[in-house]
Amino acid sequence: MRIPWFLCLFLLCISCTHKEAPTAAFYYWKTVYQPDRTQKELLAKAGDNNLYLRFFDVTWDEQLHHAQPNAVTRISANLKTVNLTPVIFITNRVFERLQTSETDSLAKKCSTLISQMVSKANCTYRAVQVDCDWTDTTKDKYFAFLKAFQLYNKHSLQATIRLHQVKYRERTGVPPVNKGVLMYYNMGKISSGQSRSSIFNEQDAAKYLGRLSTYPLPLDVALPLFSWVIHSRNGKVIQVYTQISRNELTDSNLFEHITSGYRARTNFFMKGVYIKKNDIFKPEETNMEVLQKAAGQLADQLPPLHKRTIIYYELATISLPEFTPQAIHTITHRF
């Protein structure tokens, strides 16, 4: 059979740009790993059982002057059926305070603790991800830690990358890991006064995307599925909550609806939070529209990568019922 020449050209084109389809995954960031039925179902259907599970934090003990594991996750569900990537979160403070000579022993301890937890859960894992919002002043120690970690743990190593670390890479450096995970959320200043969302907004994101295509690490992507409420007092942000949503704020006995959100009418406790008269609550919500925008904007800028993983944050605090497996599938395949 003769194939018309233009069709040949077309076939040639798709074969040369062919890359394997992206996969989806979920973070799980609670201190007890105990997903309910809906979460398990979503993980299986939308995320092919790819789970990035926070194992523990590493924080700095100001009294004892050492780094220590904190909020170690209790694993109360079977991990054998998932494709596991343990995640550890290290506060930047740790590297501000740690001596360079101590990075090696910290790496060893982290690796040992991961092994212990994995062996207790009787499961295997594919890679390790380290999450740390390092800065130019801590990069040397953080990178020394990452290098040392790879001597103790032979699994592939990933590090989270924030947008400012992409833009200012000369200053903040590129971490010595196998892969980066671009965190495509928490980009604006958390503030009650601004109308744009600090979880995701196109304008703030755009400022950082210019140099994305030349970032020297292969990049997976982390996208938000959460919403939160920002609590501020006298113009100062106090806290953000995922346990409070717009629903609770619409009680007009307690809150007055104003342009920038909801203003408390009196002093009271709600969901374990103490609220004072005139406190402002501003909901920031992530929905499919926001997610579509984020995915569209980012997919255009990322260099191609085979089987890129899109990790959704996070399984236990998904805010809306509209995030169905089908919806998440649609987003994933924009990459």
| Interface positions with another protein (CB under 8 A) | 56, 62-63, 68-70, 72-75, 109, 112-113, 116-117, 120, 170, 234-236, 267-272, 274, 276, 278
In this complex, which beta carbon is closest to another protein, that of residue 47 or of residue 261? 261
In this complex, which beta carbon is closest to another protein, that of residue 132 or of residue 275? 275
In this complex, which beta carbon is closest to another protein, that of residue 100 or of residue 105? 105
Least CB distance to another protein at residue 209 (A): 17
Cα 14 to chain centroid, rounded: 32
Least CB distance to another protein at residue 82 (A): 17
CA distance 35 to 318: 12
In this complex, which beta carbon is closest to another protein, that of residue 45 or of residue 97? 97
Q: Which residues pair with 269 in a beta bridge?
A: 274
CA dihedral sign of residues 103, 107, 110, 116: negative
In this complex, which beta carbon is closest to another protein, that of residue 117 or of residue 127? 117
Burial of 325 (0-12, 13-18, 19+ CB in 10 A): middle
Cα 323 to chain centroid, rounded: 17
Least CB distance to another protein at residue 322 (A): 29
First to last CA, the chain: 35
Least CB distance to another protein at residue 86 (A): 13
Least CB distance to another protein at residue 117 (A): 7
Nearest to 124 by CA among 147, 155, 150, 157: 155
Q: Are 182 and 161 in contact (CB under 8 A)?
A: yes
Where are the strands (E) in 9-98, listed by range?
23-28, 32-33, 50-61, 66-70, 74-75, 83-90
Least CB distance to another protein at residue 170 (A): 8
Least CB distance to another protein at residue 41 (A): 25
The helix/strand/coil state of 233 is strand
Least CB distance to another protein at residue 68 (A): 6
Enter the tokens of residue 144.
Answer: 């020394």
CA distance 118 to 195: 43
Where are the strands (E) in 271-335, listed by range?
273-275, 280-284, 309-313
Angle between helices 325-332 and 288-301 (to 10 degrees): 20
CA distance 324 to 253: 34
In this complex, which beta carbon is closest to another protein, that of residue 15 or of residue 101? 101
- Report the run of H or E that residue 194 belongs to, with start and end: none
CA dihedral sign of residues 150, 155, 156, 157: negative
Least CB distance to another protein at residue 137 (A): 12
In this complex, which beta carbon is closest to another protein, that of residue 60 or of residue 184? 60
In this complex, which beta carbon is closest to another protein, that of residue 72 or of residue 288? 72
In this complex, which beta carbon is closest to another protein, that of residue 172 or of residue 286? 172
